[in-house]
Amino acid sequence: MKIIYKGFKLAVFITVCTFLLQHYCLPVVQAANDISDRGNIAKEKRASAKRKDSKRFISIDFNNVDINVFIKFISELTGKNFVVDNKVKGKVTVISPSKISLKEAYRVFESVLEVHGYAAVRAGKVIKIIPSPEARTKNIETLLQGKTDFPEDKIITQIIPLKYANASEIKKLFTPLISKSSVILDYSPTNMLIVTDFQSNIMRLTRILKAIDVTGIGHEISVIPLEFADAEKLVKILSSVFQPKKAARKGASERTITFISDERTNTIVLLASEVDGLRVKSLISMLDKPTPKDKGKIRVYYLEHATAEDLAAVLQAQTPGKGKAPTKGGKAPLLSGQATITADKATNSLIIMADNEDYQVLEEIIKKLDIPRAMVFIESLIMEVNTNKDFKLGTEWKAFGEAHHNERDGAAGGGFSGDEATALAGLATSGTLPSGFSLGVFGETINISGIQFPTIAAIIEVYKKDKDVQIISTPQLLTTDNEEAVIYVGKNIPFQTRSTAEGGVETYSSFEYRDVGTTLKITPQISYDGMVRLAISQEVTKLESTIDFRPTTLKRTIDTTVIVDDNSTVVIGGLIDDKFTETETKVPLLGDIPLLGWLFKSRKKEREKTNLYVFLTPHVINNKADAENLYKKKKEHIDEIGKGSIKMYKTNNNANSSISPKPDER
């Protein structure tokens, strides 16, 4: 019986345990697993959101907006909660030409706060925006040395343990290098520094500390302010004296003397033994002197050909700005120091203040730029020709095709504009020309109506008496390469701009004088292959009528750029003037009789169309010999014209013969 009873109790116990396990323990385990799964899903969602934010880039551009508006923008952008102190005020300007990530945008936000004297301090799930002096007493982030990664403009407390240097001495050294509202403490028992400042400045201090916290028995730290010398340049000199380049640099811990220059305060931080320190300080005292007057950096360079004002602007652009380092990835400036170049217009000289190294570079550049420039003598002819006149230019007027400059002949033109102009071969043109213009290029002779003229002067002599040809102007210009030459021939005409009258009688009138005539502006540019680029701006203004000081003018302009050979002629035509005239002829007295007078008078209406042509011939003058040759050629042409014999050749004859123009052609 006892055995049966014990077996029954065991069976009941197993049954109860099985029931409890199925109804209580398994659901609890399942619930725990579900909670764990939900936590993992939440973590994955947060990680996915962070990955999306890291790939999101934005553009920040604010111009003089309220700082509270900027804080609200960052809050909505990053999803962070900010509590803003009432003392936070001011205007913010942020310029970001390229897009940045959200993480970088928050760093920009911290930098803006630092510039305006505020700081962001985290307090639980919110971030407080308070003045920087108050932030140093709040619960800010505390970091150990070596734990900082990227410098940010947020206030932190950095604990810096020292290995070899004395904490109190380092405190004295770093005190001038931190802002006035920052805090630096030394803890002697553990030889540590406790610094509360912006993280970017703390990282600067740690870089300096890395160089000076090295082994050395009896070494001491000295801060040496400079009065005249430049700290960075003086450190280079000291390093070359006390640490020769031929000695191998094994590591900072093995150096006996260490120099650090602080550009902001113009001081030198020295780590050396007492004996070496005295030697270094003695040398510094000898070098930190004002520059002697008789050996100063100021020099005067007298120019022979270039203009002082223009050359000074070019050279000054090569000097680095004060305190400005070369941009990353950009070209370093040609000059190493601070050079100043000033132009003296009266003596056409340059006043240069630079050290010997920079002056040698400047002197070499000046010698290459101060050279005699070539000149260009430009013959021009502006004339109007009646369209009824047999005035055929012996050049191929076309919009497409090849211009054969090697054969001293070629052309381009004929009513084209826009992109078609760029398709021209053999002649480069650009600028603004009226619709329907023509442009051609001759060789060294000009072909008109089957007759070849040697020069523009020959054309003038032949057509100066022709009633169908009106020579408006024949300007001749001499200018320097790449310098504009301007000539104006005309009158200064009064134009009535305002008048007042009382009782029907004019009592007061005001006039404005305007130029009416021919204006020609040409800027030549000589290329290395002898071609001449001409930037042409030509304007012809004529009076149409004058009624009570209210004249009507007709203006025709050309603005274009052409490239021609030296001594070749370019002609621009196609500017048509359409003028209507009415003439009346009558028999005196009889023609004035009403009605019957028409039997003794007549009226004639005529339409006259004229074409404006502009001929230009550039002659390059590189030296005195070229000028003399040009003078001889011009003198020969003048002598020929004076004798009444001009060398012209008919193009349809195989044998060229000298002819003179017929009377009806004059």
H/E element, 208 = helix 199-212
379: β partners: 476, 617
Q: What is the 3-state secondary structure (H, E, C) of 597-636?
A: HHHHEEEEEEEEEEEEEEEEEEEEECCHHHHHHHHHHHHH
Same domain? 572 vs 639:
yes
User: Using CB atoms within 10 A of its CB, is residue 442 exposed (0-12), middle (13-18) or buried (19+)?
Assistant: buried
Q: Write down which residue in 71, 98, 133 finishes a domain.
A: 133
47: three-class secondary structure by DSSP: helix
Q: Are strands 61-66 and 91-95 parallel, antiparallel or unpaired?
A: antiparallel
Same domain? 382 vs 469:
yes
Same domain? 454 vs 573:
yes
CATH code assigned at 92? 3.30.1370.120
H/E element, 544 = strand 532-545
pLDDT along the chain (666 residues), means of 10: 63 68 56 55 53 67 84 86 86 78 79 80 83 70 59 73 82 82 80 81 83 68 89 88 53 63 89 84 89 67 91 83 47 65 90 83 90 88 71 42 32 32 34 42 52 59 68 83 87 77 67 82 88 87 70 80 85 66 71 73 70 84 86 76 52 42 42
DSSP string, 163-179: SSS-HHHHHHHHGGGS-
Residue 313 within a domain: yes
**646 and 660 in contact (C-beta within 8 Å)?**
yes
* 603/457 Cα distance (integer angstroms): 40
Residue 467 within a domain: yes
Residue 451 within a domain: yes
666: three-class secondary structure by DSSP: coil
Same domain? 561 vs 436:
yes
| Extended beta strands in 199-321, E state | 219-225, 258-262, 267-273, 298-302
**597 and 590 in contact (C-beta within 8 Å)?**
yes
Name every residue whose Cβ is closer than 8 Å to that of residue 576 and which is 6 or more positions away in sequence.
387, 436, 609, 610, 611, 612
Q: Write down which residue in 133, 163, 179 finishes a domain.
A: 133
Residue with tokens 């009444």: 644
Residue 101 within a domain: yes
DSSP 22: I
H/E element, 37 = helix 26-55
Q: What is the number of other CB atoms lying within 10 angstroms of the CB of residue 582?
A: 8
Same domain? 389 vs 305:
no
**364 and 335 in contact (C-beta within 8 Å)?**
no
As for how many domains the chain has, the answer is: 3
Same domain? 363 vs 383:
no
Q: What is the number of other CB atoms lying within 10 angstroms of the CB of residue 126?
A: 11
* 452/459 Cα distance (integer angstroms): 9
Residue 159 within a domain: no
Q: Write down which residue in 103, 133, 163 finishes a domain.
A: 133
Residue 167 within a domain: no
DSSP 646: -
Query: What are the phi and psi torsion angles at 638 (to 5°)?
Result: -65, -40
* 334/320 Cα distance (integer angstroms): 8
Same domain? 338 vs 440:
no
pLDDT of residue 586: 73
pLDDT of residue 226: 92
* 478/379 Cα distance (integer angstroms): 9
Range of the domain at 342: 293-321+334-369
Same domain? 532 vs 463:
yes
Residue 453 within a domain: yes
pLDDT of residue 665: 42
pLDDT of residue 469: 76
Same domain? 317 vs 405:
no
C-alpha dist (Å) from residue 374 to 420, 421, 521, 626, 632:
33, 30, 19, 10, 19
**269 and 280 in contact (C-beta within 8 Å)?**
no
Q: Which of 379, 394, 396 is nearest to 566 (CA)?
A: 379
Global confidence as pTM: 0.43
Same domain? 427 vs 568:
yes
Helix ranges, 253-355 (H): 274-287, 308-316
Both tokens of 216, joined, read 């050395």
pLDDT of residue 640: 67
**232 and 256 in contact (C-beta within 8 Å)?**
no
Same domain? 300 vs 427:
no
Name every residue whose Cβ is closer than 8 Å to that of residue 273 and which is 6 or more positions away in sequence.
216, 218, 219, 220, 256
User: Using CB atoms within 10 A of its CB, is residue 108 exposed (0-12), middle (13-18) or buried (19+)?
Assistant: middle
Residue with tokens 């619709």: 435
417: three-class secondary structure by DSSP: coil
Both tokens of 1, joined, read 């019986």
Residue 247 within a domain: no
Same domain? 441 vs 557:
yes
